[in-house]
Chains A and B, each alone.
Chain A
Amino acid sequence: MNHLDKLEAQSVYILREAYREFKSLCMLWSIGKDSTVLLWLARKAFFGHVPIPLVHIDTHFKIPEMIEYRDRMALEWNLNMIYGENREAVVAKQTFPDGNTDRITCCRHLKSEALKRTLSGEWPRYRMNHDLKRYEPDEKNEPYTGVIVGVRADEEGSRSKERYFSPRDSGNSWDVGDQPPEFWNQFKTDFAPGTHVRIHPLLDWTELNIWEYIERENIPIVSLYFDRGEGTRYRSLGCWPCTNPIESSSRTLSEIIDELGSGSLAGVAERSGRAQDKEDGGLETLRRDGYM
């Protein structure tokens, strides 16, 4: 087994463990490369099927190509696709692009809050109807007690402290200082009423591993990651007002892998194109509050 085989096996084990232990389970799909690899790993774990609902939080400011890609894959792979949103904030224009909040507050409204309320079932969920090929309000509104998330330890400081199975209390908050132990391959799969567990199958993967795996498995990913002639590409995807491409002429998977391997991006953080990280407190403040 090479290093990708080992990473794949560990992630598959974690996904199967989650599927076995959590009756009300979902997987977050941001449409980015990491959670798309995660989705692919679910197909590995369940032999071509994805028996777990996929939840996407639509901020209404995503790069349009991302949403188009999401729905195409949902139909092609027969995904139980669900999205949630902060309708109120969008309608009231309580957002950064509308000029009414700062970036962090906007993230809080459109992502953290929308995610929290969608997971808890308090706010409406919309489910893809595969026959009609469109979304319909979902009748099921039970809270998800297990939430699979594609965060990686190497992405950013606070993520390096995560466990594979990480409990969150009823307020979604994360007590970094007092996390349960993980012995060998035994994880926290028991949880008190009102709490839920975040599951992180990709924790040990690096950015380079993700691209190597996408290449090996030939996983279709959104084309925003490639230079399409402008000398730039996205390295991390988000909402268009707060996400900037990096300068890079990588047009193919192997060019991205060479670029990462060459060290030419070594001095640039992966999320450097994500403007909210640079605001005061940044990602860590957001994550304590339930952000992924």
Chain B
Amino acid sequence: MHTRSQMNIVIVGHVDHGKSTVIGRLLADTGSLPEGKLDAVRESCRRNSKPFEYAFLLDALKDEQSQGITIDTARCFFKTAYRDYIIIDAPGHIEFLKNMITGASRAEAALLVIDAHEGIRENSKRHGHMVAMLGVRQVTVLVNKMDLADYRQADFEALKEEYTAYLRQIDVEPVSFIPVSAREGDNIASPSPAMPWYEGPTVLGQLDRFRSGGELRDKPFRLPVQDIYKFTQSGDDRRIVAGTIEAGTVAAGEEVLFLPSGKRSSIASIESFNTPVKHSAEAGEASGFTLATQIYIRPGELMVRPSDPQPEVGTRFRANIFWVGRVPMSPEKEYKLKLGTARATVRLAGIVSTLDASDLRLSRTKQQLDNRDVGECILETTRPIAFDLASTSETTGRFVIVDNYEIAGGGIVLENLSGGETILERHIRERESHWETGNVLAADRERANRHRAKFIVITGPPHTGKRALARELESLLFRNACSTYYLGMAAIEHGLEADLRRHGDHAEERLRRIGELARIMTDAGQIFITAIDDADDRDIETLKLLNEPNEILVVGVGENDFVSTTPDLDIDSIDDLFLAVSRIAELLASKEIISDYQI
């Protein structure tokens, strides 16, 4: 069994500064090319009367040759005596920034190539910035084409000084600078006789000095829940919480906490297929757990250890975003946020500043993020999510933004700003300030109806008889002369919600509409009843807010999913419909919604 380690390296830099030549050299000088490939390319160059270049070795696709530029992230494999490398060739052409990001996202270290002759160009700067934002901490700068600068130390030192000053402004400290000529092979695999003044490592030597992984293991435990599996049909009763551990370690028997729901349990077992029994798992493992207690959790929660430093939970945060969407990011639109395994609807609530990464010019006046902008922004999600600040836990502190099916931006979280007014609270404040009432007052309706208005939400798992209960409650109240209405979900599905049906996930918008409807119906003095499957704390909180200033009453049927919500009434099961309805009626009477003599 080979136990050699493997490392992903990305190579970036301005177009024509020689990345492909560096890679071609690395492949050739480490003997990683298929036999005869080098000769074949040389021969083809000779036949076409063009000078041989190492870069031609990489031209695997026809497109590349015709356009003369690297069009996409290509991977090359080579090895040194120490370990195996995957070198990711990220295009230097500005049009292909998306590909550069893709390449750099997967890398543990970066080689940034600058042409000694041409000097620092736009993408030398932009790529330096991007690589840092993407979390690549080890950067070595290759000052290429030293042969064109007659191998002068002064040229190398001047460029090194200038670029170091630039990197310092964005808090990046390069591991090293190496003067090379990829074309001539200087300082690539062996030290250059033409530059005796340089005493540092060759490029290959530097690659072997980069450190690989490790630190994540020692951080607080973080597991974004990717999915919950239960393969009952195949005769497997395990309920497995699955996900990849982003940081830290965890062992069977340990207490765990799920955020944002706040639910707790402990790990009963660590599950795996075709391995010896596992008692612990660590960062990097795609793992699975069974829990000691039955709790209902959803994909997207963050599983942590209660005794560890806690992640942030909130709906509003400050972040650095780089935008690569064709359409600008605008405060007018809703986007989908993907952070860890969490998905949320998100809005751009404000732009603090934008940075033109090519010249580091700050602007505080932009109203949107254009393609290739880097911006410090305020984002707001409609639901709370759990996350870390990128400065404390990188892997759980970064996210992407999806616009019209495409990943259009990525970012890192700088600060949790939650606690202020949420989008929903602001919406309700604005709605209420504009609310128009007629001449009939709520008190007038109460007097006439002889009862108060109320929004009654009956919730619990599917198929527990909630709808029958809701309908029976409506009948009882109606027979007793109450103004009441039961809203069935099917009634709005093809009407009020018809425009939503072509959208995949519209649970949040559906909830909003029900809440707005409740606000109107309770304003009309009704006892407005509805039944909702598996509402969680957040759903109830949303409905409660939307129905304000009117009142809500929550009836839980069967097992519920609440941590912070205490239902006004809990009904274990509806075996006796009459009894269950009576209990709700009694509660309404005790709360003086209706009077005793009405039932």
Q: Which residues in A have some Cβ–Cβ distance to B below 8 Å?
A: 1-3, 5-6, 8-10, 12-13, 16-17, 19-20, 43-49, 51, 78, 153-154, 157-158, 160-161, 163, 176-177, 179-188, 190-192, 204, 206, 208, 212, 215-217, 257, 261, 266-269, 284
Contacts and interface: CB of A to CB of B under 8 A. Distances in A.
Nearest to A191: B405
B277 interface: no
B227 interface: yes
Nearest to A185: B244
Interface of B: 1-6, 34-36, 60-63, 71-77, 84, 86, 98-99, 101-102, 105-106, 134-135, 226-227, 229, 231, 234, 236, 238, 240, 242-244, 271-274, 282, 284-286, 288, 299, 324, 336, 338, 395, 398-400, 402, 405-407, 410
A179 B99 contact: yes
Given A2-B3, A181-B324, A186 B72 contact: no
Nearest to A285: B62
A93 to B, nearest CB: 32
Contacts of B6: 3, 6
Nearest to A188: B407
A267 B32 CA distance: 10
Contacts of A190: 336, 402, 405-406
17 contacts: A3-B2, A6-B284, A10-B286, A47-B271, A51-B231, A153-B75, A154-B77, A157-B61, A160-B60, A160-B76, A183-B105, A183-B400, A184-B398, A190-B336, A190-B405, A257-B2, A284-B62
Contact of A1 (B36, B238, B242, B285): B285
Contact of A3 (B84, B402, B405): B84
Given A157-B60, A176-B61, A284-B61, A47 B273 contact: yes
A182 B231 contact: no
A96 to B, nearest CB: 24
Nearest to A1: B284
B292 to A, nearest CB: 18
Contacts of A177: 63, 71-72
B102 A163 contact: yes
Given A49-B236, A177-B71, A9 B244 contact: yes
A103 B338 CA distance: 44
A267 B35 contact: yes
B61 A158 contact: yes
Contacts, number: 158
A47 B101 contact: no
Given A8-B286, A181-B102, A47 B272 contact: yes
Contacts of A17: 226
A46 B273 CA distance: 8
Given A16-B227, A183-B400, A183-B410, 10 more contacts: A16-B243, A43-B273, A43-B274, A44-B272, A51-B231, A157-B61, A163-B102, A188-B407, A266-B35, A267-B36
A233 B486 CA distance: 72
Contacts of B35: 266-268
- List the 6 closest A-B pairs by CB distance, nearest first: A267-B35, A157-B60, A12-B286, A181-B98, A183-B410, A186-B400
Contacts of A10: 286
Query: Most chain-B CB neighbours within 10 Å: which of A49, A51, A186?
Result: A186
B227 A20 contact: yes
Residue in A16, A208, A215, A216 whose Cβ sees the most chain B Cβ within 10 Å: A16
Interface centre among A163, A183, A188 (most CB of B within 10 A): A183
A136 to B, nearest CB: 19
Given A20-B227, A157-B61, A183-B105, A9 B406 contact: no
A176 B273 contact: no
A188 B227 CA distance: 18
Nearest to A7: B6
Contacts of B238: 47
A61 B1 CA distance: 36
B226 A20 contact: yes
Given A46-B231, A180-B406, A267-B34, A160 B99 contact: no
A1 B236 CA distance: 28
A47 B240 contact: yes
Given A47-B272, A217-B274, A161 B231 contact: no
A154 to B, nearest CB: 5
A266 B75 CA distance: 17
B475 to A, nearest CB: 38
A212 B398 CA distance: 34
B489 to A, nearest CB: 21
Contacts of B63: 176-177
B229 A181 contact: no
B440 to A, nearest CB: 47
B95 to A, nearest CB: 9
